[in-house]
Amino acid sequence: MSRSGLTVNFVACQLSALCAAFWFRLYLSPGETSPAVRHAFATIFGIYFVIFCFGWYSVHLFVLVLMCYGIMVTASISNIHRYSFFVAMGYLTICHISRIYIFHYGILTTDFSGPLMIVTQKITTLAFQVHDGLGRRAEDLSSEQHRLAVKAKPSFLEYVSYLLNFMSVIAGPCNNFKDYVAFIEGRHTHMKLLEVNWKEKGFHSLPEPSPTGAVMHKLCVTLVSLLLFLTLTKTFPVTSLVDDWFVHEANFLTRLCYLYIVMQASKPKYYFAWTLADAVNNAAGFGFSGVDKNGNFSWDLLSNLNIWKIETATSFKMYVENWNIQTATWLKRVCYERVPWYPTVLTFILSALWHGVYPGYYFTFLTGILVTLAARTVRKNYRHYFLSSKALKAVYDIVTWAVTQLAVSYTVAPFVMLAVEPTISLYKSMYFYLHIISLLIILFLPIKPQAHNQRWPQTLNSLNKKMD
């Protein structure tokens, strides 16, 4: 989503994409239309929406796509993921930097960096999955890497369709190439049902689940989020965190509570954009994930957030795992699982670079590293004392919920403030309390060794193979 908020062009494009998605599913269905035609229409619509929304800035998107397709065609399998990663991230970073220095922290109403960020995720995801499929032995892959590995380089039409299709080019989310191609070819829902052993559970035929219910539910969430954005967000602007009343007059407890309220008020625009993007994909028939624990068809394959789990999170980790889910998954697949050293730190750094070069992002991610390490240490040292009874567990959950919400508000405030001066002003008014507490916890609480199975699966001999 554009950091400029809910622009008219953005909303118009996404609502047009929603209508196009219903038309695409009903009149260009896989049973009656060839994959090539579906690829072509998805791409043409996507290019049109990008040009309409971002004008000549959309050239950046097309240049990056063409450069990286050249790498896909010409680079050796052993280097295809490296070259694609550095070119895509390098171009994205150059665009981020140019916006800072040319526009002096100004935020354009036509902020093209949002689609560029999504395309960067897709380019690198596909490059690593092609490398896994063609350049690594099956026994060296994790089960997920094996499932997602791409066994042949995509054609030009498949490549541009995956990167520029109208369902996700404006607001995402990132998805896997194999899932996208299966959707275009009409194998998407059946593939997901087979993955959950549908026939082994006694069902002899594969149904065609309708996304209509899921789309209607997500549109209702979108509408509520829009109303909250138009009311709450305007009532509690981020700029109020640096006004004289907050900095000089309010007491510390009031600042804590007010910071929480302001950060809550900043969420609806993200809830709106990501839920609407999810609905667009579902309306086209993409996003089916199988069957949930209650036996109902689920359409959350591309969901970018879980609002209930965010608002009830009892740990920093739980909060992060349910916010911008597809970006977290991308970071895991291209960085955390593959780097041999300091995976948490390097993943935070990549996340910051991907988001941009505003100083506020780096305050957030550096603070996030401290808070994550401190929270992990506290959890390992004390959580087991509260599991002996339901009453103690309830007390633990209430306390950790409150601490998590306050910690997240403190950590992410610079992310929406962007610049150095307001960030320092805010943290000074809060006495840098969370930084100090986190450092004390890390320095003085004993660090218990992390169990091997608590990290995303890796084998002991994978350090060298990760760099292949």
Active-site residue list: 324, 355
DSSP string, 261-306: HHHHHTSHHHHHHHHHHHHHHHHTT----EE-TTS-EE--TT--B-
Residue 299: which residues within 8 A CB-CB, separation 6 or more? 209, 211, 214, 215, 282, 287, 288, 289
Q: Is the peptide bond before 173 cis (omega within 30 degrees of 0)?
A: yes
Torsion of CA 356, 357, 360, 365, to 10 degrees: 70
First to last CA, the chain: 33
Report d(CA 79, CA 328) in Å as an integer: 24
Distance of CA 143 to the CA centre of its chain: 22
Question: Three-class SS of residue 252?
Answer: helix
**Quick one: tokens of 365?**
């991610």
Residue 34: which residues within 8 A CB-CB, separation 6 or more? none
The 8-class DSSP code of residue 248 comes to I
Phi, psi of 78 (to 5 degrees): -70, -20
- Residue 298: beta bridge partners? 290
Cα dihedral sign, 74-80-83-89: positive
Q: Which is it for strands 297-298 and 290-291: parallel, antiparallel or unpaired?
A: antiparallel
The answer to whether 166 and 42 have CB atoms below 8 angstroms apart is: yes
Q: 275: number of CA atoms within 13 Å, CB side?
A: 21
Q: Would you tell me how many other CB atoms lie within 10 Å of the CB of residue 397?
A: 14
Residue 305: which residues within 8 A CB-CB, separation 6 or more? 270, 271, 274, 275, 322, 323, 324, 325
The 8-class DSSP code of residue 105 comes to T
Report d(CA 297, CA 244) in Å as an integer: 52
**Quick one: tokens of 128?**
């690593």
Report d(CA 34, CA 378) in Å as an integer: 56
Tokens 């991907």 belong to which residue? 354
Helices and strands in the chain, H and E counts: 23, 2
